[in-house]
Chains A and B, each alone.
Chain A
Amino acid sequence: MTISAPRRSSPRAVVVLLAFCLCTAAAAATPRSDAAAPIPDTLQQRVLACTSCHGAHGEGSLDSLSGPRLAGKPAGYLLQQLEYFQSGQRRHAPMEYVVRQLSPVYLRQIAGYFAGQDVPYRKLPVPAVSQEILRRGEQLALHGDPGRAVPSCASCHGARLTGFEPMMPGLLGLSYDYLDKQLVSWRAHTRAAEGPYCMGVVANRMRESDIAAVSAWLASRPPPADMHPQPAGAQTEPLPGWCVMGSSGATL
């Protein structure tokens, strides 16, 4: 038998070719052992370990404690927190375990994925506290407590409280439980940053009742129309001299 170049394509050859193409196309999507839908090659699919608590788009869990909202947070901030969970500067056992095996490059991609999600805010339950407590919370958030050298939230997190790119997180759209727990964690050093770190200093100057009050007021705020962090250039008020953001991840 000799091999000669085909002179014209026979109908059978077309069928074979077509079948081959179909098979190749089918093989390109990863075959499943039991004919279920193929596994998509997307970051969203790859990070199921994140989204099972934080939501497919980082919209946060319903209680916002087991999985706070990640969507739209500044990418640098998200990356920094992932790194802190890896290094143990921020403690939460489930998060520490999940991020353990990830490379710096992959962490950056994951931070970018959640920072880039633009999904509506969930309505969170308003904490059942008195008007007096809410007023105290508002006072602290917008004006601070000069007597205890506690700056206002707005002085660093922005007048809209939605944070700044690339490192300053927003404070709205988070639950009372989550906010309160974070401030307590800053005091207990289960949440830390490369020092000197301002949030730890501020949290340690606050009364416990004030931590609860400011968390309650922040959690009860209706989200503003534009929840995006403001651009870096919008931060006109300088941070206090003793307040140094951790350098880790700031180069994003």
Chain B
Amino acid sequence: MKRLRRGWWVPVLLAMVVAGWLVIRPAGPLPVSSEQRAAQAAALRDPALIERGEYLAAVGDCAACHTVRGGQPYAGGRSLATPFGDVPAPNITPDPDTGIGQWSFEDFWRALHEGKGRQGELLYPVFSYTSFTKVTRDDALAIFAYLKSLPPVNRPDLPSGLAFPYNVRSGLVAWRALYFQPGVFRPDASKSDEWNRGAYLVQGLGHCNECHTERDSLGGLKKDQHLTGGRIPALAWYAPDLSTQSGGGLEGWRAQDIVDLLKTGQSAKGTAFGPMADVVRLSTQHMTDADLQAVATYLQSLPPRASPASTAPFMRAASAEQGGTLYAKHCADCHGKDGNGVAGIYPPLNGNITVTEPTGINAVRSVLLGGFAPTTAANPRPYSMPPFAQQLRDADVAALVTYIRQSWSNRAGAVQPGDVARYRHTPVD
């Protein structure tokens, strides 16, 4: 079925390739006179602008993708897994040969705002220009000034791992027609400044939607859905719904809980783990209280969600007993018999979206992998959870996770030993 759905658009794409080539031929760097270039270079050296750019680059979490593990920050090389193949993130240090040393601000703006490279080529949307297009020109200039201030690193970009037909860039004409609408964020005059600031950060630079919304078979974000949660393609984690209202993934979260999680990595409602722990450690912990508060205000305005009709089976009595025994033995010491955790130390499991998200992926992988909450300025020595992959069999993990998903106020579907077996071997990076 999946293959059928994937297949139909290949001929369409091929036609678009031809059309696309005619419409958008790579046109080279945008023309900039030498006087303009000199004036711009001087403006970009303004320390205040660079400092603001450093903050904004942290908000956008640019380094997370543009840095390979153990490598120089922003020098690229990290391979970003997508269902269509791996795309290596480019070097964005100001190296003249391998980075953005020769880029003008107009080139940078065109990349961020229009999703086009320096030669005018269409960029793959793994670079989240679907969100970054909302970033203002002023903010883009500050980020550009910061990137230009970095020490240049000579590190050639790696070739893309995309296979035909996805490696044909002009095929993106079709994709963009479906999913991409360029345009800077337009404030809603009927809402407060704080709400607008939060919406700008969440929808634009923060690019929260890129993970927290389900993608369709073409890798596009579903247009009628906004922050309603979704699987993160190729990472095997689930980014939950972010509504705090009735039926939402963060139902019952106060603004302070959101601020706490983003600032410290922990909150009264849950702890950041998996990819979100990276986001907190690298990005959101560095945000100002005012910006975090704005994000919380905006998220709190997301509408209520229809409660999902659970189609997943509930556990059998035998497995419930097994799950309860395992819980008492391995989990209750820290998370409590009542599943309410220990304030400030161990997260509650009762009513925790990590536990109850629709797929069960997050709970299964958390049990298998354990790990630490992110190290943040506010929580420099986080507590941790043992990895249970070495101790528990697939059937045990399934019974335990199902028990947790269906105890106290939790009413989520059962997970199967087969799911556990699959996630046991999912790569961690």
Nearest B residue to A94, CB-CB: B387
Contacts of B332 in A (CB 8 A): 36
The one of B336, B340, B369 in contact with A97, judged by C-beta atoms closer than 8 angstroms, is B369
A102 to B383, CA, bound (A): 11
Contacts of A46 in B (CB 8 A): 381-384
Nearest A residue to B369, CB-CB: A97
The one of B277, B337, B344, B389 in contact with A101, judged by C-beta atoms closer than 8 angstroms, is B277
Q: Is the CB of A34 within 8 A of B372?
A: no
Chain B interface, >50% SS class: loop
Q: Is the CB of B381 within 8 A of A94?
A: no
B305-355 contacts to A, CB under 8 A, are: 332-334, 336-338, 340-346
- Tell me the smallest distance from the CB of B162 to a CB of chain A, in Å: 23
Q: Is the CB of B383 within 8 A of A43?
A: no
A44-103 contacts to B, CB under 8 A, are: 45-53, 66, 86-89, 93-94, 96-98, 100-103
- Tell me the smallest distance from the CB of A27 to a CB of chain B, in Å: 11
Contacts of B389 in A (CB 8 A): 94
Q: Is the CB of A89 within 8 A of B371?
A: no
Q: Is the CB of A49 within 8 A of B70?
A: no
The one of A32, A39, A86, A101 in contact with B371, judged by C-beta atoms closer than 8 angstroms, is A101
Q: Does B373 contact A (CB under 8 A)?
A: yes
Q: Is the CB of A109 within 8 A of B381?
A: yes
B57-102 contacts to A, CB under 8 A, are: 69-70
Q: Does B4 contact A (CB under 8 A)?
A: no
Q: Is the CB of A31 within 8 A of B371?
A: no
A170 to B35, CA, bound (A): 64
Q: Is the CB of B70 within 8 A of A105?
A: no
Per-position binary interface string of chain B over residues 136-148, scored 1 when its CB falls under 8 Å from any chain A CB and 0 otherwise: 0000000000000
If A47-B384, A98-B370, A101-B281 touch, whether A88 touches B345 (CB-CB below 8 Å) is: no
The one of B69, B277, B384, B390 in contact with A87, judged by C-beta atoms closer than 8 angstroms, is B69
| Interface residues in B, total, Cβ within 8 A | 40
A93 to B370, CA, bound (A): 12
If A49-B387, A87-B70, A89-B70 touch, whether A97 touches B381 (CB-CB below 8 Å) is: no
Nearest A residue to B345, CB-CB: A39
Q: Does A242 contact B (CB under 8 A)?
A: no
A49 to B385, CA, bound (A): 5
A10-59 contacts to B, CB under 8 A, are: 30-34, 36, 39, 43, 45-53
- Tell me the smallest distance from the CB of B408 to a CB of chain A, in Å: 11
Contacts of A49 in B (CB 8 A): 370-372, 384-387
- Tell me the smallest distance from the CB of A70 to a CB of chain B, in Å: 15
Q: Is the CB of A86 within 8 A of B386?
A: no
Contacts of A98 in B (CB 8 A): 369-372, 384, 387
A109 to B381, CA, bound (A): 9
Q: Does B11 contact A (CB under 8 A)?
A: no
The one of B336, B342, B390 in contact with A53, judged by C-beta atoms closer than 8 angstroms, is B390
Q: Does B429 contact A (CB under 8 A)?
A: yes
A102 to B371, CA, bound (A): 10
Q: Interface residue tally of chain A, by bracket?
A: 20 to 34
- Tell me the smallest distance from the CB of B288 to a CB of chain A, in Å: 21
Q: Is the CB of B375 within 8 A of A103?
A: yes
Per-position binary interface string of chain A over residues 100-139, scored 1 when its CB falls under 8 Å from any chain B CB and 0 otherwise: 1111011001000000000000000000000000000000
Nearest A residue to B372, CB-CB: A101
Nearest A residue to B71, CB-CB: A87
A76 to B324, CA, bound (A): 42
Contacts of A86 in B (CB 8 A): 69-70
Nearest A residue to B375, CB-CB: A103
The one of B334, B344, B380 in contact with A103, judged by C-beta atoms closer than 8 angstroms, is B380
Q: Is the CB of A88 within 8 A of B370?
A: no
- Tell me the smallest distance from the CB of A68 to a CB of chain B, in Å: 13
- Tell me the smallest distance from the CB of B127 to a CB of chain A, in Å: 23
Nearest A residue to B389, CB-CB: A94
Contacts of A88 in B (CB 8 A): 69-70, 429
Contacts of B277 in A (CB 8 A): 100-101
The one of B333, B370, B375, B382 in contact with A36, judged by C-beta atoms closer than 8 angstroms, is B333
Contacts of A48 in B (CB 8 A): 334, 383-386
Q: Is the CB of B337 within 8 A of A34?
A: yes
A50 to B265, CA, bound (A): 20
A49 to B375, CA, bound (A): 14
- Tell me the smallest distance from the CB of A159 to a CB of chain B, in Å: 35
Q: Does B427 contact A (CB under 8 A)?
A: yes
Contacts of A66 in B (CB 8 A): 390
A-B contact pairs, 6 of them (CB 8 A): A30-B342, A39-B383, A53-B387, A88-B70, A94-B390, A98-B384
- Which are the 7 A-B pairs with shortest beta-carbon distances? A87-B70, A52-B386, A49-B384, A33-B340, A103-B375, A97-B428, A101-B374
Q: List chain B positions with a Cβ less than 8 A from chain A.
A: 69-70, 265, 277-278, 281, 332-334, 336-338, 340-346, 369-375, 380-387, 389-391, 427-429
Q: List chain A positions with a Cβ less than 8 A from chain B.
A: 30-34, 36, 39, 43, 45-53, 66, 86-89, 93-94, 96-98, 100-103, 105-106, 109
